[in-house]
A and B are shown apart, each in its own frame.
Chain A
Amino acid sequence: MKERIEQAYENRPKRWLFELSVTLVVVFLLIWSASGIETSGTTQNGGKIAMNILSGIFHPDTKLLFNLTTKGVPYLLLETICIAFLGTIVGAIISIPLAFLSASNLTPKPVAFVGRTIIMAVRTIPAFVYGLMFIRVTGPGAFTGLLTMSLCSVGMVSKMYIEAIEDLDTKVLESLDAAGCTTWQKIRYGILPQLMPNFASTAIYRFDINLRDATVLGLVGAGGIGAPLIFAMNAYRWNEAGAILAGLIVLVLIVEWISTKIRVKLARG
């Protein structure tokens, strides 16, 4: 028995050459990337700054945190939620036709390929570049943020929509055909029930991400909570930054909790 085990062990597939080459490539890549890491010289008081940041974040400026005017954290959070929400809605709506055009099981291969490349290009351009471009259109403010968020959402949402469309179960459509349904009935009872939960779930997921990414918008003056946060940090006012971060973290945690609940419900039908 023992001999047979050892024999089987001896006959195991030998892949050391493959494994060795993969290891070498990975090690080489890591050394290469470590060689490129540089800094303008770590400041001696780095540790002190870190302590200041931590103490500021744990002693948030409560006046700012519970200030109910348009300068206070609650209003800024509301503005951020609104930008993220409307951005998601607009992005999700634009994504629907784009995704149907780029799904390889519905459209001819060349069209689908062009559509996918465009979507990838949209996804690649960083958010702040869009922000700076839209500022020329609408001027600084929450409206610019909304447009930026919409365009950024299109990149990811339509990619996930395409995957959902390509996973469509066509047998349902065939059986509806066999039962003598019209095209509209096929869409209503064959396609929508398959796609709707998936689409809604993707949109909710993207809303989560948009809320988190909304700080990027502040960089270019496109509204939301980002700008006050970055200003406070650049001016080393850590108490203010702490107050804003505390508000943001609590909000994101709550939204994530709710959205997970809804998405689990959607997935289970």
Chain B
Amino acid sequence: MSIYDKLFPPKTITLANGKTVQKKRTRMPLVILILAALTALSVKVTGFNMHTLVSRINEFFVILGQMFSAPNWSYMPKVWGPLFDTIQMSLLGSVAGAILVVPFAMLASTNVIKNNVVVTVMRLFLSIVRTLPTLVAALIATYIFGLGTLAGTIAIAVFTFAYMGKILYEEIETVDMGAFEAMEAMGATKVRAFVSAIVPQVLPSYLSNGLFCFEGNVRYAAILGYVGAGGLGLILNEKIGWREYPSVGMILIALFVTVFIIETISRAVRRRLV
């Protein structure tokens, strides 16, 4: 019985057959109170001002109009290069991250590794990698590997690694362990049993999640250029800086079409996988 139930005792209902049941009071008022308090605090800290928003929001649509009312089609030939860079970065980064994470995910699954210390350390490691903002990873990569698409590829690999790691070990923990145990009993090593008994079970969802991650990465890769890690972000940043909004609109349309095509293909493939 929690404190809340003591303050607001449950309602007792007598049923037609004489039995009594207790209905707990709803938690809704408490939730609403907390949300309202947090909202009030946030409004104060962020300086939310409805007046400014209403009076100046048309500026936003002015820029939006400049971007998309007449996109600069003649700029398109210069977009292809960075666009393909972005796709290449995200493809290679996704594949590298997704492959590298497999042994780590295996070590982080409680049903494969019985040693609690190893599992905890691995999970903590994956969590910390996951909290590392992609942008920070990209910035560090540009310092170490120089400006260019290599840094972006590595940042995307790190992001994919973190994202896939968690999903993969959760997936591994829900597989049927019968085959794995049988193989271990027959004298197979852990790795051999993992490859033969667990991989076939998790492979479809692993591929599906990998494709999903790749879709997202194409979008993410567009940001990375901002810190000099190559791709669309580079020219996007440049054109916004020069206030050439029609060119910005062209870049965004190209990105949108690309993402749309990739999502359509990947959705079709994923439907067949799962």
Contact = CB atoms under 8 A, between A and B. Distances in A.
Contacts of B153: 37
Interface in B148-204: 148-151, 153
Contact of B145 (A35, A46, A82): A46
A215 B133 contact: yes
B241 to A, nearest CB: 9
B88 A37 contact: yes
A42 interface: yes
Nearest to B133: A215
B149 A215 contact: no
Given A41-B146, A49-B144, A82-B46, A253 B127 contact: yes
A74 B85 CA distance: 39
B24 to A, nearest CB: 13
A85 to B, nearest CB: 5
B147 A39 contact: yes
Contacts of B63: 133, 136
Interface string B231-247: 00100110010000000
Interface stretch (B6-14, B71-79, B109-117, B254-262): B254-262
Nearest to B90: A33
Contact of B252 (A49, A86, A125, A142): A125
A89 B220 CA distance: 23
Interface residues of B, number: 63
A64 interface: no
B29 interface: no
Most buried by B among A82, A132, A213: A82
Interface in B86-115: 87-89, 91-92, 95
A40 B60 contact: no
Given A126-B233, A129-B252, A145-B46, A229 B223 contact: no
Given A33-B87, A37-B89, A82-B42, A143 B47 contact: yes
B252 A219 contact: no
Interface residues of A, number: 65
Contact of B133 (A34, A81, A85, A248): A248
Contact of B92 (A34, A147, A229, A233): A34
Given A82-B42, A253-B131, A39 B145 contact: yes
A49 B146 CA distance: 11
B59 A137 contact: yes
B219 A126 contact: yes
Contacts of B35: 89
Contact of A219 (B38, B127, B226): B226
Given A129-B236, A137-B57, A143-B52, A78 B45 contact: yes
A61 interface: no
A213 B240 contact: no
Interface string B253-272: 00110011001000000000
A120 B256 contact: yes
Contact of B135 (A40, A121, A216): A216
A43 to B, nearest CB: 6
15 contacts: A30-B95, A36-B84, A36-B149, A42-B146, A86-B48, A128-B226, A129-B252, A137-B52, A137-B57, A143-B52, A212-B131, A219-B227, A223-B46, A249-B131, A253-B131
The 8 A-B residue pairs with the shortest CB-CB distance, nearest first, are A36-B88, A33-B88, A82-B42, A39-B148, A86-B42, A39-B150, A142-B46, A215-B133
Given A37-B148, A124-B256, 14 more contacts: A33-B92, A37-B149, A38-B149, A38-B150, A39-B145, A39-B146, A79-B45, A120-B263, A123-B219, A124-B252, A136-B63, A137-B56, A212-B133, A256-B131
